[in-house]
Structure 1
Amino acid sequence: EIHAEVQLKSYGKFLEEYTSQLKRIEDALDDSVGDVWDFSLDPIALKLLPYEQSSLLELIKTENKVLNKVITVYAALCCEIKKLKYEAETKFYNGLLFYGEGATDSSMVEGDCQIQMGRFVSFLQ
């Protein structure tokens, strides 16, 4: 019982010291967090992004051959979807957003809708 009390006091003292140490570290880090990069003092900045040269097939390796095939198919589909999304955003979004803008029903002459649609079909090809 006395031994347990000694251990408890020792543990309490450890926690207090550890808490104060963490507080000192936090205070030291808070001072430097607000520093902003000054272009006039340091005109060059490096943007280092991790680059991995391993292929998709190297990353997908399990003991189960069927699972490997399924995961490979899904991973290839995800890559294809990412490419198609980029193509849609760069080529088609603006045209789809602004199709029919600027023309009102009252200002349209008969046949203008068909001409506009014909021009839009060539955009989609």
Structure 2
Amino acid sequence: MLSFLADFERALLADDPSPDEGTWQPSRSVNYHTGLARLQLVVCMPDKSLKPRGAVLLQSYNLADGTACIKAHLTWAGSDATLIQAVFSKPGCDWKSEARRMAAQWMAGAPAAPVVAGEAPLLAEAAV
């Protein structure tokens, strides 16, 4: 999990080395016992203030057949939108590429909230 988060961070640094004219100040925490990890993405602005940008939450577990899986929950500051992605350990799976792909998805910004078309309300007519 820690190496996956580190690969995610490296991809962010490569794609955007000075976000908003500041520097990345990420914070990681990992609990291997519970299989949970968190990466808080914060930017230190030129005036030394901190600007939250979002977070990545990871859950690591094994499927019934013993296959390793990581589920990533991507969030963005100022948005209620989330994106959940799962990566399964399978032949040909490149964890670094998956981390880069998820970082690119996160850098693209929060997905648009689904638009639900409103239906015309049902009107009851009085019985005559």
Please give the TM-score of this superposition, normalised by the length of structure 2. 0.19
Task: Tell me which protein shows more strand as a share of its residues.
Answer: 2
Task: Tell me which protein shows more helix as a share of its residues.
Answer: 1
Q: Which has the larger radius of gyration?
A: 1
Please give the TM-score of this superposition, normalised by the length of structure 1. 0.20
